[in-house]
């Protein structure tokens, strides 16, 4: 299951993901926890900061940041 999240800023994304038990990478572009992993990114010309979480259920503290599955998900390449 993929969970799509949108935050107002990178600082908010980092704070909320960390509070939910995720550890972020050195560059704050990947996150992981005991239950799953994800990417953290901005989309050019789009307001906000995003995170896609994989292989986990949405933590209760992040439910309010969930957005509907996009018709064409943004492809993050590492």
pLDDT value of residue 45: 87
How much is the pLDDT for 77? 59
> In tens digits, what is the pLDDT along the chain, a chain of 78 residues?
899 999 999 999 999 999 999 999 999 999 999 999 999 999 888 899 999 999 999 999 999 999 999 888 776 655
Question: What three-state secondary structure class fits 49?
Answer: strand
Distances (CA, A) of 70 to 5, 25, 37, 73: 11, 25, 19, 5
What's the rounded Cα separation, in Å, for the pair 37 and 58? Answer: 11
What residue segments make up the domains of the chain, in order of their start? 26-70
Whether this model's pTM surpasses 0.75: yes
């Amino acid at each position: 299951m993929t969970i799509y999240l949108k935050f107002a800023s990178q600082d908010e994304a980092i704070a909320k993901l960390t509070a939910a038990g995720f550890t972020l990478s050195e560059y704050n572009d990947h996150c992981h926890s005991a239950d799953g992993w994800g990417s953290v990114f901005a989309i050019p010309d789009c307001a906000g900061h995003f995170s896609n979480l994989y292989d986990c259920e949405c933590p209760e503290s992040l439910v309010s940041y969930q957005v509907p599955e996009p018709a064409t998900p943004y492809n993050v390449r590492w």
